[in-house]
Amino acid sequence: MAKTILAVDDSSSLRQMVAFSLKAAGYQVVEAVDGQDGFDKAKLQAVDLVLTDQNMPRMDGLALIKLLRGLPAYQKTPILMLTTESSDEMKSKGRAAGANGWLVKPFDPQRLIEVVKKVIG
Amino acid sequence: MSMTSTSNLAASKDAEGEGREFLAFTLGSEEYGIDIHKVQEIRGYEQVTRIANAPAFIKGVINLRGIIIPVVDMRIKFKLGTPVYDQFTVVIILNIGGRVMGMVVDSVSDVTTLSADEIKPAPEMGDTGASFNAEFLMGLGIVGERMLILIDIDRLMSSSEMGLTEKIAA
Amino acid sequence: MSIDISQFFKVFFDEAEELLAEMEKLLLAVDVAAPDAEDLNAIFRTAHSVKGGASTFGLNDMSEVTHILESLLDRIRRGEMALTAVHVDAFLAAKDILKMQLDGHRNGAAVDQDAVANVRMMLQELSADVAPMPPVQPAPAFVQTEVRASFAAGGRRFKIELPVVEQQDINALAAELGLLGRISVTPIDASRHALILTTHESLDDIIAICSFVLDPDELKIFEAPALTPEQRAIEDAARAAVEAELGYGFFDPLEPDEVTQEAVELSDDERGYGFFQPIEQIRAAAESVATAPASIAMPVAVRPEALDVSEVAAEKKAAARKDDKPAAGSDAGSIRVSIEKVDQLINLIGELVITQAMIEQRSDNLDPMLHQRLLGSISQLTRNTRDLQEAVMSIRMMPMDFVFSRFPRMVRDLAAKLGKKVDFITNGAATELDKGLIERIVDPLTHLVRNSIDHGIEMPATRIAAGKSESGRLFLSAAHQGGNIIIEVADDGGGLNRERILDKARQNGLAVSDSMTDADVWQLIFAPGFSTAETVTDVSGRGVGMDVVKRNIAAMGGTVDIRSARGFGTTISISLPLTLAILDGMSIRCGDEVYILPLGFVVESLQPASEDVKDIANRGRVVKVRGEYLPLVAMHQLFDIVPKFTAPSEGIIVILEVDGRKAALFIDELVGQQQVVVKNLESNYRKVSGISGATILGDGGVSLILDVPALLRATRMDEPALT
């Protein structure tokens, strides 16, 4: 059965691109427009992987990750941050919040699929 | 609004040597041709609502499936033939850059494909017998016995002479 | 498998446009003295989002500008740099540049590269003022336009071998070419260098730029295949001064199978992704999640201490803010629909209304007793259709804010240009208006606003001398009133000068008298060619005069009124009908032609007695109705129709009223009353004087709708009614 990915990003163009690419690779994709929306959608349906942007209105990526880790169904779900920089600060904050890794923006669709495959196959 | 000059059509589009398609119609005793791509459909002449104080060649407006379009009678405008309105009267519906309008003609003949060498440059005014200003002529199409006077319908319908469009103020 | 992301360009263009508009709005609203932290965050986010998208989609020129902008905004929002008015101006300028670049990509519009360079310099200077190490100083040897690799959108790679030149020439060239894409410098031999440029631009453009600095004949340009990320990492690593961020990498010690051999030891940073645990661990954990979806909704002890206090505060604040703006162009509760689809829907509803009216008409003859159920259903159908109609029309209704939001920037710039101080206040931005009208009201309103600032509001010194506040006030308001929307442009400036207007009117040959009421005098400024400004400024005296404004508004079925008081100010009031497309009409016949009169203007109709119709020499006819004499207009004369009746006492007169003024229209007969769908003539034809639109009758024919205000004006001015 196809795996499901939750893609959270406030940029429509980026989100659509991510969704399109992942669907082309055979995954199901749920889209959310910011942290709050992502959290609401995550509660409705358990997904196999979460990809989240950092800077978003209403609730940012780090807050989302922390809240997700508080849900029993999301204790072990892989969560990757989509980030615009790979600074040490980002890495330590992300790790502390409970993320499993990061992917630097901009990335091309191939890279995205490659990374996702590494994590959930 | 196309700005093709009256120079030879062959110079413009068909690099591949493919022909261009023209809708041939008659006005009076002459046959004319216009680019088929500007033609949306062909209808009969009916239920034209007159517009007061408009020039005589603008017959009025009609309802074309919900949109209101003007209808002009080329026979009146260019003094060709006798304007008769009966069940044989044909209105060619044109779509020029998004503007739709109807043109009354005597009859529609067919769709003719003309290759580049079948199109000759339009001669100076007078020769064709038409009252069209030479700037609206694209050339003459010669196919066997037939001579089609090729009109740049885009340019003609957009011109101030026809008065179909509003001049934009300042 | 390769995925073409260019299909998302359009989405990004729309998104970027909205983000830029949002950025401007926030910048205009921010309080420089005490900026709100959330506002600064929001401004930062707009720049950040634009940059993210621009990089992803390979719009390097934009991501370059946004990068500097974003860095500045980041420092400001963190409190590392103070926000000043100079910053705001620079940011607004940057927004203009970005919009220009966006239009360049979107429509092929021309981009003024000098302006771009100026703005970049301005931003860089601002960056230099504070931080010890400004983020985007070009490195001495070469310029890198993209810190992150953005090979997402492709590009070609050229190697340009330079002859022996000075280092400063290499730098200059690298700086210029760097604007085209990604550039690096490598030595060829002891004395010569080569530039490696990855770009979308053409070879011709590259040569053109090179020829500014060098003789193109001395260059050797090769095209090379684009590098794979790994290769580029090697290339980057060779340039010691710059950190390469390319593709992916791992946070923790790499798994044995991930380490690709020898020299190609790519770090996470070089590869652009990474993990905090060994990938095996993550995968194993992921698999164990396969079961237990049931308990999702119950958050287990959300350990409050894990959340940063400051983050919670920010979240709360963000949630408390009015959620009026949907996140960057997308909103979980709405969908984008093309305008064509909506218009088609409205057309279809219009057809439905006609058909339903026909059914109603034909059922009029039926015996109500025999056909009770049928007639009952027809009534129901009428109600349903009307509801459907209203619901669909409301789709096209948009808040006036769409119009209002254009003005703050314009007012600010214009006031600054003229040396005036203007406070801009709006009211009723939520008032809704049909989209078609919204678009058409923008130009007239812009003209009126410009007029107010240019001619209405006085210079600060003049105002103070007159005992007024230094800043003039400009009000823009919108409100519903009955079936109309009233839009007002008001200023507290000097008001209209009655004498000057009368003088100018006399000069122009208009018939005026000193005893005219103020209201009538103000209406004179709508006459063509009228401008009492002493100097026709570039701003508002472009010949797009008040007459065009009035004409535009009349074409929308609206009216314009002016109130003014010397020394106090001027208010211009526009009234527009709320629904353009459906009209209650009275159909009338003259000869064998049927026309429609909008019912709103009809007072009554009657057949006059012949002795009540009088001829006034040189002024036409009048008819006496209830003691007053009204001008009589014969339809057949106006429209050149052969009528059934030439004597008003044999036909019918319809009393029309517009703004308190009445006239009588002489026709042959009344046909009936019906709701009609208004179609405009201008789409495929042109404006016809005396006609405000057309409608399609039940029989499929077209009937013209009379422009009653125009008719009445013609009767007053003694000019030929219709040209």
Which pLDDT belongs to residue B126?
Answer: 54
Which pLDDT belongs to residue C243?
Answer: 31
Chain B: residue whose CA lies nearest to C705? B51
Check CB contact under 8 Å for C315 and A110: no
Is the four-CA dihedral C654, C655, C656, C662 of positive or negative sign?
Answer: positive
Same domain, C94 and C35: yes
- C-alpha torsion C294→C297→C300→C305, nearest 10: 150
Which pLDDT belongs to residue C146?
Answer: 31
- Assigned CATH for A4-120: 3.40.50.2300
Task: Determine, yes or no, domain membership for C332.
Answer: no
> Other CB atoms closer than 10 Å to residue C653's CB: what's the count?
26
Check residues C209 and C473 and name the one with the higher pLDDT.
Answer: C473
The CA-based diameter of chain B, rounded to the nearest angstrom, is: 50
Q: Which of C639, C680, C686 sits opposite B52 (nearest CB)?
A: C639
pLDDT in tens, chain A (121 residues): 789 999 999 888 888 889 989 998 999 999 999 888 899 889 888 899 999 998 888 788 888 898 888 888 888 899 999 988 778 888 888 888 889 999 988 888 888 999 999 888 8
Instruction: Give percent of chain C above pLDDT 90.
Output: 18
Which pLDDT belongs to residue C16?
Answer: 92
User: ipTM > 0.85?
Assistant: no
Residue C543 above 50 pLDDT? no
Which pLDDT belongs to residue C572?
Answer: 93
Same domain, C412 and C549: yes
A6 vs A31: CA distance, rounded Å: 6
The average pLDDT across C255-279 equals 59
> What are the residues facing C667 on neighbouring strands?
C652
Check CB contact under 8 Å for C640 and B170: no
Check CB contact under 8 Å for C148 and A105: yes
Check residues C536 and A33 and name the one with the higher pLDDT.
Answer: A33
CATH number reported for the structural domain that contains residue C21 in this entry:
1.20.120.160
Instruction: Compute the C-alpha angle C234/C239/C243, nearest 5°.
Output: 85
Residue C407 above 70 pLDDT? yes
Residue C311 above 90 pLDDT? no
In sequence order, which residues have a C-beta less than 8 Å from that of residue C387 and are 6 or more positions away? none
The average pLDDT across C530-547 equals 55
Chain B: residue whose CA lies nearest to C351? B66
Which of C560, C577, C594 is at the close of a domain? C577
Residue C63 above 80 pLDDT? yes
Which single residue is written with the structure tokens 């179909």?
Answer: B164
Residue C568 above 60 pLDDT? yes
Chain B: residue whose CA lies nearest to C642? B52
User: Using beta carbons and an 8 Å cutoff, which residues of B are at the interface with C?
Assistant: 47, 49-54, 60-63, 66-70, 99-101, 163-166, 169-170
Same domain, C293 and C153: yes
Chain C: residue whose CA lies nearest to B93? C684
Side-by-side strand order, sheet with C628-634:
C602-606, C652-658, C661-667, C628-634, C620-625, C613-616
Is the four-CA dihedral A59, A60, A66, A72 of positive or negative sign?
Answer: positive
Structural domain for B12, as ranges: 2-160
Which pLDDT belongs to residue C258?
Answer: 34
Same domain, C310 and C168: yes
Which pLDDT belongs to residue C281?
Answer: 81
Check residues B135 and C570 and name the one with the higher pLDDT.
Answer: C570
Task: Determine, yes or no, domain membership for C333.
Answer: no
Which single residue is written with the structure tokens 């809240």?
Answer: A67
CATH number reported for the structural domain that contains residue C611 in this entry:
2.40.50.180
Cα Rg of chain B (Å, integer) = 16
The average pLDDT across C6-25 equals 88
CATH number reported for the structural domain that contains residue C200 in this entry:
3.30.70.260
Check CB contact under 8 Å for C702 and B99: no
Q: How many domains, chain C? A: 5
> What are the residues facing C629 on neighbouring strands?
C624
Which pLDDT belongs to residue C344?
Answer: 82
How do residues C116-127 score in pLDDT, each as one tens digit? Answer: 888 888 888 888
| Alpha-carbon distances, residue A37 vs A31, A32, C18, C327 (angstroms) | 9, 5, 20, 10
Mean pLDDT score across all residues of chain C: 76
Q: Note the helical H segments in chain B.
A: 74-77, 153-158
B149-153, C177-181, C314-318, C526-530: which has the minimum mean pLDDT? C314-318
Check CB contact under 8 Å for C683 and B169: no
The CA distance from C297 to the nearest CA of chain A, in Å, is 5
Check CB contact under 8 Å for C702 and B68: yes
Task: Determine, yes or no, domain membership for B146.
Answer: yes
> Other CB atoms closer than 10 Å to residue A102's CB: what's the count?
28
How do residues C491-518 score in pLDDT, each as one tens digit? Answer: 999 888 888 888 888 888 887 888 888 8
Which pLDDT belongs to residue A116?
Answer: 92
Check CB contact under 8 Å for A100 and C318: no
C702 touches chain B (CB under 8 A): yes
Check CB contact under 8 Å for C274 and A102: yes
Structural domain for C351, as ranges: 339-396
Check CB contact under 8 Å for A57 and C48: no
How do residues C479-491 score in pLDDT, each as one tens digit? Answer: 877 667 889 999 9
Which pLDDT belongs to residue C396?
Answer: 77
Reduce the DSSP state of residue C673 to 3 states and report it: strand
Which of C396, C414, C433 is at the close of a domain? C396
Task: Determine, yes or no, domain membership for C135.
Answer: no
Residue C188 above 90 pLDDT? no
C88-97, C140-149, C269-278, C589-598: which has the minimum mean pLDDT? C140-149
CATH number reported for the structural domain that contains residue B48 in this entry:
2.40.50.180
The CA distance from C66 to the nearest CA of chain A, in Å, is 13
Crossing angle of the two packed helices A12-24 and A109-120, in degrees rounded to 10: 60
Which pLDDT belongs to residue C213?
Answer: 66
Q: Which of C14, C152, C318 sits opposite A108 (nearest CB)?
A: C152
Check CB contact under 8 Å for C274 and A34: no
Number of H helices, E strands in chain B: 2, 11
Chain A: residue whose CA lies nearest to C67? A84
Type of residue numbered C549? V
In chain C, which residues have their Cβ closer than 8 Å to the Cβ of A76? Answer: 285-286, 288-289
The secondary structure element, H or E, covering residue C18 is helix C9-29
Check CB contact under 8 Å for A71 and C296: yes
Check CB contact under 8 Å for C696 and B66: yes
Task: Determine, yes or no, domain membership for B166.
Answer: no
The average pLDDT across C620-644 equals 90
Which pLDDT belongs to residue C551?
Answer: 78
Same domain, C608 and C695: yes
Task: Determine, yes or no, domain membership for B168.
Answer: no
Beta pairing class for A79-83 and A28-32: unpaired
Q: Do chains B and A touch (3 or more CB pairs under 8 A)?
A: no
- DSSP string spanning C98-115? HHHHHHHHHH-----HHH
Residue to substitute from C353, C667, C683, C685, interface B, most B β-carbons within 10 A: C685
Q: How many domains, chain B? A: 1
A104 touches chain C (CB under 8 A): yes
Residue to substitute from C14, C57, C275, interface A, most A β-carbons within 10 A: C275
Check residues B47 and C423 and name the one with the higher pLDDT.
Answer: C423
Check residues C141 and C456 and name the one with the higher pLDDT.
Answer: C456
Residues 28-67 of A with CB under 8 A from C: 33-34, 36-37, 42-46, 48-49, 55-60, 62-63, 66-67
> In 3D, which of B104, B101, B47 has the Cα closest to residue C697?
B47
Chain A: residue whose CA lies nearest to C58? A106
Q: Which of C679, C701, C704 sits opposite B47 (nearest CB)?
A: C701
The secondary structure element, H or E, covering residue C490 is strand C484-491
C228-232, C399-403, C449-453, C510-514: which has the minimum mean pLDDT? C228-232
How do residues B104-120 score in pLDDT, each as one tens digit? Answer: 998 888 888 888 888 88
A87 touches chain C (CB under 8 A): no
Which pLDDT belongs to residue B18?
Answer: 65
Q: Is the pTM of this model over 0.80?
A: no
Residue C245 DSSP code: B
- C-alpha torsion B147→B152→B157→B160, nearest 10: -110
Task: Determine, yes or no, domain membership for C108.
Answer: yes
How do residues C164-183 score in pLDDT, each as one tens digit? Answer: 777 777 777 777 777 677 77
The average pLDDT across C599-610 equals 89
Estimate to the nearest angstrom the gap between the alpha carbon of C517 and the chain centroid: 39
Contact C563, C570 (CB under 8 A): yes
